[in-house]
A and B are shown apart, each in its own frame.
Chain A
Amino acid sequence: MEFTPAQISLSHLDELWFQVTGTRCNLTCHHCFISCSPHNKSFDFLSRQEIQQYLQESVELGVKGYYFTGGEPFLHPDMVDILCDTLQFGPATVLTNGTVLKEQWLNRLSKAQQQCRYSLEFRVSIDGFDAPTNDPIRGDGTFDRAIRGVELLVQSGFLPIITATRTWPDSEDQKVLGEFTTMLHKRGYQHPRIKLLPSLKLGAEQARTEAYSEHERVSDTMLNTLDQQQFVCEHARIVTDRGVHVCPILIESPDSVLGQDLKNATEQPFDLNHGACFTCYQYGAICSNVSLNTTPERGSE
């Protein structure tokens, strides 16, 4: 039977993402789906002014929440100001590796959060519950540095969401969650929030494991019984220095750029013809804040 890719239209722009530091990161993780590193300049920083313009534009569109990713967002010299600006508009989430956080920044952000009605969420990427399980993926010494970041966040009154990319069999999820919880308790984080993420076979991860096979695609018939909200592109867009893209995962694909302004980028449907779309189909909600600590119900047909 001929394969017809599924097509998704955005129902409403709930999530507006910013690739705030492009592909620049202080780490070079082996599973990074856009191969971020200290030397990857394929995407550049967004300026505070550019972000402010998009925030203004987002009001008319009724955006529900704002997300910042990179690279490492806290390499941006204006990151604290950008988050303070954003909290004037709505809730903000920042995805960080936790290794460069400074106490004075967090104190300022804690105060900014207290003074507004919105939540400022931190998602800290740690891919193992100790150095031997984390550092082979994220780099030597990164476990200790990231955990120090978590401690600083907790001391500053935040409840960071620890995100771990699954590099173990699905069947070990509960065991790994238990190990993470025990470790975080010991570090003073009494009620840790932990989110497990599927790996995306793109960028560095593609080299570390394998690429998506040609069968790992979402066909239109597969959408018949599925809640389309579980696809990020159904309710989100991301801004990079190249324009507005369909989702945070696919920014390196040329067809992901949907325009330069938000309104146009919300009006175009998107063909789900990428392997990563299949991961969204399998797991759903991979970019949202809530934990998805269950194994997927749908297998790899």
Chain B
Amino acid sequence: MTVRLALLGGIYNNYLALEAALRQASELGAESYYCLGDIGAFGPHPDRSFPLLHQYDVQCIQGNYDDSIGNELDDCQCGYTDARDNYFAQKSYDYTLANTSDENKRFLKSLPNELILEIESHRLLLCHGSPRRTNEFLWESTTPTHFLEWFFRERQVDFIAGTHTGIKWHQQTKLGRFVNIGVLGRPENDGQTNVWFTMVEVSRDEIRTSFHPVQYDHTRLSREMHQEGLPDEFIETIETGWWTTCLEILPQKERKAGQF
């Protein structure tokens, strides 16, 4: 028997991409849906994502942003270290905090910070950043195989999925498979306007993952971001597919792949 899961990373208020991804995952045979956190941030109209999550019965994990919004903290705990990145992150955070309903804040506050699924004798750990820290960045070029194996040993699982960085990648190790599922909230700094989600197929013998591009109405998203007064730098990313902020946290290889 094969069980198909859809894993959705950082939505960042991009309810248009979320809607498209859910439809696409359903067509691919997804039996259950998981969101690995950061429902808010970056985009417009925070409350528009929640009805879609409930409609598809998406099980959500609390990302750093969800923890902040749910508990009405002062900032998003994104882990940026650069003054410019923090400036834009704060603008986006203040907007999202002000435009998220109390009911949705209570929902965000109630979310678990990880899920462990037991399927077909496999143990799958779903988290936001890493199994040890919600806002840890696991980039492909700075995450050694033996570091991942340490997680598999520590947590006694054979599959780990995270998001948080905004760029998808995967690695098969001797002890299990790790996948960074990418995000729905913004393109992944490759000059393309699409975003990504991940399908996982679990059978007795193996766990397979596949990345799926999502085309959505990004011109409508950028128009709504303009209307809501969100930063031009964020809108540029939606329109061009290149990151204009959050660049200082990128390791060299990931930074070189972008335009800035």
The answer to whether A and B assemble together is yes
- A residues lining the B interface (CB < 8 Å): 12, 58-65, 89-91, 113, 117-121, 157-159, 174, 191, 193, 285, 289-294
The answer on a CB contact under 8 Å between A285 and B81 is: yes
Query: Quick one: given A159-B256, A285-B81, A293-B82, are A64 and B251 in contact (CB under 8 Å)?
Result: no
From residue 76 to 127 of chain B, which have CB atoms closer than 8 A to chain A?
81-83, 86
Tell me, in angstroms, the Cα distance from A160 to B248 when the chains sit together. Answer: 12
Tell me, in angstroms, the Cα distance from A117 to B253 when the chains sit together. Answer: 9
Select the stretch in B32-40, B54-62, B143-151, B157-165 that faces chain A: B143-151
The answer on a CB contact under 8 Å between B81 and A89 is: no
Tell me, in angstroms, the Cα distance from A61 to B149 when the chains sit together. Answer: 10
B140 sits at the interface (CB 8 A): yes
B86: chain A residues at CB < 8 Å are: 294
- Point out the residue from A12, A91, A291, A292 that lies within 8 Å of B251, measured CB to CB: A91
A59: chain B residues at CB < 8 Å are: 146
- B residues lining the A interface (CB < 8 Å): 81-83, 86, 132, 140-144, 146-147, 149-151, 153, 247-249, 251-256, 260
The answer on a CB contact under 8 Å between B147 and A120 is: no
Tell me, in angstroms, the Cα distance from A88 to B256 when the chains sit together. Answer: 21
Tell me, in angstroms, the Cα distance from A91 to B137 when the chains sit together. Answer: 14
Which residue in chain B gives the minimum CB-CB distance to A158?
Answer: B252
A193: chain B residues at CB < 8 Å are: 248, 255
Query: Quick one: given A65-B142, A117-B141, A119-B142, are A12 and B132 in contact (CB under 8 Å)?
Result: yes
B151: chain A residues at CB < 8 Å are: 62
- Point out the residue from B81, B248, B249, B251 that lies within 8 Å of A119, measured CB to CB: B251
The answer on a CB contact under 8 Å between A63 and B248 is: no
Query: Quick one: given A157-B256, A285-B81, are A291 and B248 in contact (CB under 8 Å)?
Result: yes
A289: chain B residues at CB < 8 Å are: 251
- Point out the residue from B81, B83, B141, B144 that lies within 8 Å of A63, measured CB to CB: B144
- Point out the residue from A64, A157, A285, A292 that lies within 8 Å of B144, measured CB to CB: A64
The answer on a CB contact under 8 Å between A89 and B144 is: yes
The answer on a CB contact under 8 Å between A62 and B150 is: yes
Tell me, in angstroms, the Cα distance from A36 to B252 when the chains sit together. Answer: 28
The answer on a CB contact under 8 Å between A91 and B248 is: no
Residue contacts A-B, CB under 8 angstroms, 10 given: A12-B132, A62-B153, A64-B147, A91-B251, A117-B140, A117-B141, A117-B253, A119-B251, A159-B252, A291-B82
Query: Quick one: given A62-B149, A290-B249, are A91 and B144 in contact (CB under 8 Å)?
Result: yes
A120: chain B residues at CB < 8 Å are: 252
- Point out the residue from A63, A113, A119, A159 that lies within 8 Å of B147, measured CB to CB: A63
A63: chain B residues at CB < 8 Å are: 144, 146-147
The answer on a CB contact under 8 Å between B142 and A62 is: no
A174: chain B residues at CB < 8 Å are: 83
12 additional A-B residue pairs with CB within 8 Å, beyond A12-B150, A58-B146, A117-B253? A64-B143, A90-B146, A91-B142, A118-B253, A119-B141, A119-B251, A191-B247, A290-B82, A290-B248, A291-B82, A292-B81, A293-B81
Tell me, in angstroms, the Cα distance from A128 to B150 when the chains sit together. Answer: 41
A61: chain B residues at CB < 8 Å are: 150
Tell me, in angstroms, the Cα distance from A3 to B248 when the chains sit together. Answer: 38
The answer on a CB contact under 8 Å between A118 and B141 is: yes
Which residue in chain A gives the minimum CB-CB distance to B80?
Answer: A290
